[in-house]
Amino acid sequence: MGALAQQTIELPSWAFGNSGTRFKVFAQEGVPRDPFEKVADAAQVHRYTGVAPRVSLHIPWDKTEDYAKLSAHAAEQGVTIGAINSNLFQDDDYMLGSLTHPDARVRAKAVAHHLECIDVMRATGSTDLKIWLPDGLNYPGQDNLRARQDRLAEGLAEVYAGLDPEHRIILEYKFFEPAFYSMDVPDWGTSLLHCLALGEQAMVVLDTGHHAPGTNIEFIVAQLLRAGRLGAFDFNSRFYADDDLMVGSADPFQLFRIMHEIVSSGALAPDSGVNFMLDQCHNIEPKIPGQIRSVMNVQEATAKALLVDADALHAAQQSGDVLGANGLLMDAYNTDVRPLLAELRESQGLDADPMRAYGASGYAEKIKAERVGGAQAGWGA
Ligand code: AOS
Ligand code: ZN
Ligand code: ZN
């Protein structure tokens, strides 16, 4: 129970705004109109789960005049500002790339944007600068693959030089989209190489939706933990591509296997350096309950991973007991941990059922009445 109570999950501000696909953005009633309201909604998730005390921001979607005020507002609501996400994908200048662009002027603009994000970190007390690079090529021959890596290394080094000692760069990878022939940071190996070149304050972000179907994600988790460079997760579920569905909804067994690697490496506690973030969009379901459900799914996978009998598993592995070892994992996975989590919540003074408690709180009705003309998260326009 102690280990479970320690885990924290970070929520993305953009999960609370309207979102959709390239075909349609469905507007929902009561969605936030500004970053202050997004933070207030995220705080509701923390209020009923007790384990979601941070909110990631996205610049420019969450741009505001006074970041110290936003940070104070977060504190009043019982949460803090988490990772600051930069945006290199919504500016015409970036059509052929940002940090990898052939034109030095465009690369300098992308570096300057990150220095601006670092200023936001200073004003909000955030320690993670999350970089997801949409750069890449659609056609063979379109640009020089190797030169782009050199430009990227140079640009990242300039951003890294702007960090304060308590800051980190967390560098995400993605195997396709928006570029379809070759992304400039397509995989964990490329991200890790850049992080190693940058220094101790650079870590890899693993977004669970950013791999080819069939990829063994828990292997990547184990490898990055081994290298001491797993900085964060962007949790979500996918059936086909970067679906950004609720984590644990498509493949709860995969989430369990990931959490098993985390638990067996002792990487669950907040001081382990792994930031457990969600990166999701709720296109058709209500957003606050969607986030509550996601947090609960992560907690359930974690609780199951903590149930694995580590000593017995080690013994089975050492003696070559293939079925025994596999059986120990499956026993833990097949345990219903919901009563245990209900008990944990009650011991923390929370309602045993966060979904029910939020539903009964009247918050959804209140924001529907108060907020008119909610903003789009920025996705799917
Ligand atoms: C994009 O596909 C990535 O998953 C990004 O992590 C993320 O969704 C974006 O940075 C949101 O700002
Ligand atoms: Zn992501
Ligand atoms: Zn993504």
pLDDT for 125-179, tens place per residue?
Answer: 999 999 999 999 999 999 999 999 999 999 999 999 999 999 999 999 999 999 9
pLDDT for 188-209, tens place per residue?
Answer: 999 999 999 999 999 999 999 9
If you take atom 8 of ligand 1, which residue's CA is the nearest one?
279
Taking 90 as the threshold, does the pLDDT of residue 2 lie above it? no
Quote the domain boundaries for residue 304.
7-308+352-370
If you take atom 3 of ligand 1, which residue's CA is the nearest one?
132
Q: Residue 338: inside a domain, yes or no?
A: no
pLDDT for 169-190, tens place per residue?
Answer: 999 999 999 999 999 999 999 9
On whether ipTM exceeds 0.95, the answer is yes
pLDDT for 59-78, tens place per residue?
Answer: 999 999 999 999 999 999 99
Best of 57, 85, 86, 243 for a ligand 1 pocket test (most atoms within 8 Å of beta carbon): 85
Give the atom of ligand 1 at the shortest distance from the alpha carbon of 174.
2
Neighbours of ion ligand 2 (CB under 5 A): 207, 234, 279
Q: Residue 317: inside a domain, yes or no?
A: no
Give the atom of ligand 1 at the shortest distance from the alpha carbon of 56.
12
Mean pLDDT of 303-316: 98
Taking 70 as the threshold, does the pLDDT of residue 374 lie above it? no
Best of 55, 131, 234, 278 for a ligand 1 pocket test (most atoms within 8 Å of beta carbon): 234
Percent of the chain whose predicted confidence (pLDDT) is above 70: 98
Taking 80 as the threshold, does the pLDDT of residue 373 lie above it? no
CA of 210 to the centre of ligand 3 (A): 6
Q: Residue 336: inside a domain, yes or no?
A: no
- Average pLDDT over the chain reads 96
Taking 50 as the threshold, does the pLDDT of residue 381 lie above it? no
CA of 58 to the centre of ligand 2 (A): 12
Q: Residue 346: inside a domain, yes or no?
A: no
Q: Residue 1: inside a domain, yes or no?
A: no
If you take atom 1 of ligand 1, which residue's CA is the nearest one?
132
Q: Residue 189: inside a domain, yes or no?
A: yes
pLDDT at 245: 98
Cβ neighbours for 363, distance < 8 A, ≥ 6 positions apart:
44, 288
* Proximal ligand: closest to the CA of 244: 3
pLDDT for 314-363, tens place per residue?
Answer: 999 999 999 999 999 999 999 999 999 999 999 999 999 999 999 999 99
How many structural domains are present in the chain?
A: 1
Q: Residue 228: inside a domain, yes or no?
A: yes
What secondary structure, in 3-state letters, does the chain show? CHHHHHCCCEEEHHHHCECECCCCECCCCCCCCCHHHHHHHHHHHHHHHCCCCEEEEECCCCCCCCHHHHHHHHHHCCCEEEEEECCCCCCHHHCCCCCCCCCHHHHHHHHHHHHHHHHHHHHHCCCEEEEECCCEECCCCCCCHHHHHHHHHHHHHHHHHCCCCCCEEEEECCCCCCCCCEECCCCHHHHHHHHHHHCCCEEEEEECCCCCCCCCHHHHHHHHHHCCCEEEEEECECCCCCCCECCCCCCHHHHHHHHHHHHHCCCCCHHHCCEEEECCCCCCCCHHHHHHHHHHHHHHHHHHHHHCCHHHHHHHHHCCCHHHHHHHHHHHHCCCCHHHHHHHHHHCCCCCCHHHHHHHHCHHHHHHHHCCCCCECCCCC
Best of 94, 132, 169, 180 for a ligand 1 pocket test (most atoms within 8 Å of beta carbon): 132
Q: Residue 322: inside a domain, yes or no?
A: no
* Proximal ligand: closest to the CA of 278: 2
pLDDT at 363: 98
pLDDT at 380: 47
pLDDT band of residue 55 (cuts 50, 70, 90) is: very high
CA of 205 to the centre of ligand 2 (A): 8
Neighbours of ion ligand 3 (CB under 5 A): 242
Find the CATH number of the domain harbouring 44. Answer: 3.20.20.150
Residues at CB less than 6 angstroms from ligand 1:
14, 58, 85, 132, 172, 174, 207, 234, 242, 279
Mean pLDDT of 287-298: 98
pLDDT band of residue 6 (cuts 50, 70, 90) is: confident
Taking 80 as the threshold, does the pLDDT of residue 18 lie above it? yes
Taking 70 as the threshold, does the pLDDT of residue 220 lie above it? yes
Taking 80 as the threshold, does the pLDDT of residue 376 lie above it? no
